[in-house]
């Protein structure tokens, strides 16, 4: 991944929370590529980051002292780390996503950090209905449809409210990030594709936009630079996407094809998927089952509704434009799958001799 700095760019000391994750790691790589110094704060060790020259700090977002120490000496902070998912206790989301974010804000103030970019999600404004061409004027719904969305909304509101003269903040809402090294969306699709358990929910015509990983990371660098040069960018949320809304199952089938798997051809009506989600949620809660249900009411709604967004604000105020198209992204994903498969195939060949 590359990020060419402007000719006037002054190298920054940047903290990336969740620097060992999918998006955090991509942001780290682009910061390094343009000459910035980087510190990562995460619960894991991630030795690969240290090999790149990243200063690795281990800790928990809920630990205010550890967060404060991680922010010390930094010019900017990218707060990427969060608990994602569609199932679990509310407290399991609230503590990292809300308390953790409040700790980051307090640390930024105490340590004199001047700019903070918060990674939010379009789900903070999802009201259960299709969202087509929605812009940032969309309100937060009266009722959130998942603990993740509810706690990310609280975190986003705290970050935007904290914007001021000494600390400039904004929030990015990248939608459905995917690409090579993905450890969340792509593995789920591929795993269920291999198992033959994927089903279209609804008629399959609902359009959805996504974000290729390199574009999502680049948006974060553009955002932190905009906070230094564009007063109109501060204190605002911005939708980020490919600006290429496609039928959801066209995208899913493209990811399956990149992994060498057949497309999804079977479907289930939305009411049945929603009811199955409700039943599974009740069973998991009653029996205290580990993991998460294969279907939830939130996922059923997400799979059956359209959700794509107007990114005019990001284009205008941040200078964002997706550099990698969906077609190119799928080619890169396919190449990544093939690179991973080659050593495994060679190992099997040796074992069979």
State how far the alpha carbon of 137 is from the alpha carbons of 109, 150, 219, 309, in Å: 28, 18, 20, 11
Confidence class for position 353, pLDDT limits 50, 70, 90: low
Domain ranges of the chain: 13-181+209-243+308-324
Q: What is the mean pLDDT of the chain?
A: 91
Cα 112 to chain center, whole Å?
Answer: 27
**Domain spanning 13-181+209-243+308-324: CATH 3.40.50.720:** yes
A 10 A CB-CB count for 353 gives: 4
Residue 287: is its pLDDT beyond 70? yes
The sheet carrying 246-247 orders its strands as 131-134, 307-309, 207-208, 246-247
pLDDT of residue 152: 97
| Helix 213-229 and helix 22-33, axial crossing angle in degrees, nearest 10 | 60
The CA distance from 196 to 279, in Å, is: 21
Residue 344: is its pLDDT beyond 90? no
The CA distance from 168 to 162, in Å, is: 8
pLDDT of residue 302: 81
Residues marked as catalytic: 148
Q: What is the average pLDDT across 187-197?
A: 91
pLDDT tens digit string along 128-167? Answer: 889 999 999 999 999 888 899 999 999 999 999 999 999 9
């Amino acid at each position: 991944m590359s990020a060419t700095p402007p000719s006037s760019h002054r190298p920054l000391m940047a903290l990336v929370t969740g620097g060992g994750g999918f998006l955090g790691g991509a942001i780290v790589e682009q910061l390094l590529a343009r000459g910035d110094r980087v510190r990562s704060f995460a619960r894991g060790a991630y030795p690969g980051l240290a090999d790149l020259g990243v200063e690795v700090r281990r800790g928990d977002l809920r630990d205010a002292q550890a967060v404060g120490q991680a922010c010390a000496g930094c010019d900017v902070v990218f707060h990427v780390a969060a608990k994602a998912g569609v199932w679990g206790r509310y407290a399991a989301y609230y503590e990292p996503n809300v308390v953790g974010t409040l700790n980051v804000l307090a640390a930024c103030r105490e340590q004199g950090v001047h700019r903070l970019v918060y990674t939010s999600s379009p789900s903070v404004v999802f009201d259960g209905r299709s969202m087509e061409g929605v812009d940032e004027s969309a309100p937060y719904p009266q009722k959130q449809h998942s603990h993740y969305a509810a706690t990310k909304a609280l975190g986003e509101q705290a970050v935007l409210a904290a914007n001021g003269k000494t600390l400039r903040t904004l929030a990015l809402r990248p939608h459905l990030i995917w690409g090579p090294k993905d450890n969340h969306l792509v593995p789920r699709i591929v795993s269920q594709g291999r198992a033959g358990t994927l089903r279209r929910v609804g008629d399959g015509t609902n359009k959805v936009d996504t974000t290729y990983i390199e574009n999502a990371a680049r948006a974060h660098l553009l955002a932190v630079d905009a906070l230094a040069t564009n007063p109109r960018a501060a204190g605002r949320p911005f939708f980020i996407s490919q600006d290429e809304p496609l039928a959801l199952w066209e995208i899913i089938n493209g990811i399956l094809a990149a992994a060498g798997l057949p497309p999804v051809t079977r479907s289930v009506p939305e009411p049945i998927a929603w009811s199955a989600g409700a039943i599974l949620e009740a069973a998991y809660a009653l029996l205290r089952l580990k993991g998460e249900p294969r279907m939830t009411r939130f996922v059923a709604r997400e799979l059956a509704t359209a959700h794509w967004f107007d990114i005019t604000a990001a284009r205008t105020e941040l200078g964002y434009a997706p550099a990698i198209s969906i077609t190119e992204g799928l080619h890169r994903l396919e190449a990544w799958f093939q690179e991973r498969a080659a050593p495994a195939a060679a190992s099997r060949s040796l074992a069979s001799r």
